Amino acid sequence: MRNLRTEVVNVTLCAGSVNLVQQFSQFQQNLTVHPYSYPVEPGQEVSLPYMFQLAPQLGAVKYQGGAAAPLLNARRSHASAVALTLLYTSGSESYGDTFFNRTLELAEAESSWTPTSLSIAAVMLGGAAYVLYGKMAPVSKPVAKVVLSGEAAPKTADKSEWLVGTPAAAKAAKAKKAA
């Protein structure tokens, strides 16, 4: 706020509202009323904090700020104007100025689970499952015997040697003991 008067003004409060652009007198939401008691000397300028939160029911749309609320977003069925008003006193008189005049574009918060993050999570879970399965159920692999040229391959008396370490070998050993 800039005081262009010749006397001290006292900023008393700031209030806001969200209104329909097509019919500015139609309120969609009243915003926070923030009281001040801040004197501003003639010719001085001050910045005052004002924070507000729009209701989630208003959704993600563009909001046009300002008292006149130009029909910038009139093509949208739910275009809205954000109006912020500063109230102040000078002497025994009270005044109000609607001062905010910018467009706010509000977007819905993105979900933390995007298609990319879901894909990455699925790949990581799959990799973890593969590693855990490998640790929990180790598979014994048969060792191949290499025959170098010029040497004769060893002859085995037991024709089921290739089954060693498998469930079939355990079954055969049980059957042999039972017989």
Return the closest-CA partner of residue 112 out of 121, 125, 123: 121
Question: 3-state DSSP call for residue 24?
Answer: coil
48 with 86, same domain: the answer is yes
pLDDT band at 75 (very low <50, low <70, confident <90, very high): very low
**Is residue 1 domain-resident?**
no
Query: Do 22 and 71 touch, CB atoms closer than 8 A?
Result: yes
- Can you give the residue range of the structural domain that contains 68? 9-105
Return the closest-CA partner of residue 21 out of 59, 74, 87, 99: 74
Give pLDDT tens digits for 87-143.
999 988 999 988 875 555 555 555 667 778 888 888 999 888 888 877 766 556 666
Stretch 78-94: mean pLDDT:
84
Stretch 5-21: mean pLDDT:
88
Give pLDDT tens digits for 136-176.
665 566 666 665 665 555 565 566 677 777 887 788 788 87
Whether pTM > 0.85 for this model: the answer is no
Question: 3-state DSSP call for residue 38?
Answer: strand
Query: Do 34 and 84 touch, CB atoms closer than 8 A?
Result: no
Number of domains into which the chain is organized:
2
14 with 71, same domain: the answer is yes
15 with 37, same domain: the answer is yes
